[in-house]
Amino acid sequence: MREITILRNDGGQRLDKFLQKALPALPPSLLYKSIRTKKIKVNRKRAEGAQILCEGDTLQLFLPEEFFLTGEQAVTAASLARRKVCLSVVYEDENILLVRKHPGQSVHEDDTNAGRNLLADLQAYLFQKGAYDPEQEQSFAPALCNRIDRNTDGIVIAAKNAEALRTMNEKIRLREVEKEYLCVVHGCPKEQNATLSGWLLKDEKERKVSVFDKNPPPGAKEIRTAYRVLQTKDGLSLLQVRLLTGRTHQIRAHLAHIGHPLLGDGKYGINRADRQMGYSHQALCAFRLTFAFSPEPTVLDALRGRTFSLPPEEIPFLSLFS
């Protein structure tokens, strides 16, 4: 029998979700069977998979040793210790980090980046400064609360503990985090200030989306994109964009749909001509975040009412309009 004590970053989540993270070698079918047959208990009492854990609870696990981690956390700690970190920090407190993701960098590891991603740098940064130790955690690791495309520039939110992660995710869901972008498009939109509406359908196989003005197909999701034209020069326009919904490739696809693809966008734009101009990735930057939180107190009170922006001189494509 093994006993696990629920720590600060473990509390507030369902028993089954915690065990899936803490015991990844345990098959889901056996996990739920073990709960039903009382081989997994909470505070020595019968438990339910949906039961919410609290800090200080103890789990009694009558499971074979093969399902418990052995050495994996130590390897993770060693890799974090030797990783060379390159992280642009915009803001940091005890709960939250705002970091800048540069074009070409993925937010998470995938088949193409061989571990060079923002999340890995974030976790190594916190480990090396003593703010995170995987050997002291059972189910939590610092995580990103939002993401932007590989070739998009801008600010990304990261949570340093589980309570901050849950709270920020809820604030984002409630639209209490306002995201603003700058981008360069071909041509000049007919309306200088407008809110676009439509539906977006994602094609997982092609990793591309389609936009519809009416008669959306099954599975399409509503989108709303507000923009304002700031400047126009040499057949290009600088736009400030605010997302009223947050969907995959929303800005890129929505603006291309109305005939104004982003400069440098190889998926929805005129990539051959743009490359000749020296732009191999979309001229898009998530340059500003505003935390318009409701009055109820949370662990994120230090952010309430604050706005964070990237300096204009640090956004390369703005030089086109100087």
The correct CATH number of 2-67 out of 1.10.10.1150, 3.40.50.10800, 3.10.290.10, 3.40.50.10490 is: 3.10.290.10
Domain ranges of the chain: 2-67, 72-173, 177-321
CATH 2.160.10.10: does it fit domain 72-173? Answer: no
Average pLDDT over residues 172-179: 95
Architecture (CATH level 2) of domain 177-321: 2-Layer Sandwich (3.30)
The predicted structure's pLDDT at residue 73:
56
Predicted model pTM: 0.86
Our measurement of the distance from residue 142's CA atom to the centroid of its chain's CA atoms, rounded to an integer in Å, reads 12
Q: Note whether 2-67 and 177-321 share their fold.
A: no
The predicted structure's pLDDT at residue 86:
86
The predicted structure's pLDDT at residue 270:
78
Average pLDDT over residues 303-317: 96
Q: What mean pLDDT, rounded, does the chain reach?
A: 92
pLDDT in tens, 265-297: 989 987 777 887 788 889 999 999 999 999 999
In whole angstroms, what is the distance from residue 181 CA to residue 2 CA?
50
